[in-house]
Amino acid sequence: MESKLRILNIREVEQILSMPDVIRLVEKAFGEKGRKKVQMPPKSYLYLSKFNGDLRVMPAYLEELNQVGVKMVNAHLDNRSKYRLPTVLASIMLFNPETGAPISLMDGTYITAMRTAAASAVAAKYLARKDSKILAVIGAGYQSLRQVEALREIMKLESVRIFDIDSDRAEQLAILLYDKFDITAIPFASVEEVVCGSDVLVTVTPSRKPIVKNGWITEGMHISAVGADAPGKEELEPELLKRSRIVIDDWKQGSHGGEINVPLSSGIIGKSNIYADIGEIVAGIKPGRTSNKEITIFDTTGLAIQDVITAWHVYEVAEKKGIGIELDQLYC
């Protein structure tokens, strides 16, 4: 059996992926998890404190699909200011499940951005009110652009509100959304202003203290908490979690580093406060939103199954179209 390795750079991955495809793939991955057809250990972390960053290793195997791979991803907060590099850089390796031989190495940075946003879209499909039209986004980085791109596939967007502590970044995101997607977005001067009156709220910040107050959230809102992806991070006031239907992507990861990690460790909420894993909802084991009055929160930490299923799609398309570089047998 031949063992060839296909290598794909970020531009080649971008050429293949579309947001509707990624949303479809991520929804399928969540369903496989809900049916307990995946193997996925929690992320392993190396903390590179003197460089203000970390390195994470994320393996997964989707058993029914015969898709196995691992993502290596960092989060270095000084990258943009010091090195003009993205804060998040990732690589994904895919393996032949029959032999264990590596079959593809590809950029995972674009996949990470797309699948993270796609998860919010899948959650909104099941958890947001069907008449949701006003989207609020806190944080104006690159991921926020992708969040809006994904959610416009699910929502009938009438307006997008943006807040960032750097008002210039909020303005730049508004311009970019109009240029790329013909979406009119309005920057707001405060978190409270951007939150109040919105139907769906996305938080995409590295905050380690709550920035969204319980009192601002009204009945029927849906929140996608994206920023908390490591121990000690939180964006939502804990009292808000106590009055909401909380859906997580994974218990082990979420309790360790998701939005629920701080309230859990301090005893404000317990495991009984968690309504469901998004996989259970996608698989039909539990219902999603059941009334227009309930507040729903999706606590997303990002799962390796999202990366692997998306990367396999990229690999299969690249194989058919001859995209990327193919190296001959590695072990001969």
Domain ranges of the chain: 5-111+305-327, 116-302
The Cα–Cα gap between 258 and 265 comes to 12
Report residue 151 CA to chain centroid gap: 12
pLDDT at 332 (0 to 100): 59
pLDDT at 330: 67
Cβ 326 vs Cβ 4: under 8 Å:
yes
Q: What does pLDDT average to in each consecutive run of 10 residues of the chain (332 residues)?
A: 86 98 98 98 93 96 98 93 92 97 97 98 98 98 96 96 97 96 96 97 96 97 94 95 97 94 95 97 98 97 97 98 90 62
Token pair in block for residue 236 = 């939502």
Is residue 296 within 8 A of residue 247, CB to CB? The reply is yes
**Which of 63-72 are b and which e, b meaning 16 or more Cβ less than 10 Å from the residue's Cβ?**
eebebbbbbe
| C-alpha angle 159-165-166 in degrees, rounded to nearest 5 | 90
CATH class (in words) of the domain with range 5-111+305-327 = alpha beta
Residue environment code for 95-109, b if the CB has 16+ CB neighbours within 10 A, otherwise e: bebeeebbbbbbbbb
Token representation of residue 145 = 């652009």
Distances (CA, A) of 311 to 16, 27, 323: 10, 15, 14
Collapsed DSSP state (helix, strand, coil) of residue 40: coil
pLDDT digits (tens, 9 = 90+) for 238-275: 999 999 999 999 999 999 999 999 999 999 999 999 99
Q: What is the pLDDT of residue 77?
A: 87
**Which of 266, 278, 277, 280 is closest to 237 using CA atoms?**
266
CB atoms inside a 10 Å sphere around CB 209: 10
- Residue 63 CA to residue 65 CA, distance in Å, equals 5
CA 316 to chain centroid: 23
Q: Which positions ≥6 away from 265 have C-beta within 8 Å?
A: none
Could you give the CA distance from residue 222 to residue 127 in angstroms, rounded to a whole number? 7
Active site residues: 71
pLDDT of residue 229: 83
Residue 164 CA: distances (Å) to CA of 138, 158, 285:
6, 21, 38
pLDDT digits (tens, 9 = 90+) for 181-192: 999 999 999 999
Q: Which CATH architecture has domain 116-302?
A: 3-Layer(aba) Sandwich (3.40)
The pLDDT assigned to 230 comes to 81
Q: What is the DSSP letter of 128?
A: S
Both tokens of 159, joined, read: 């307006």
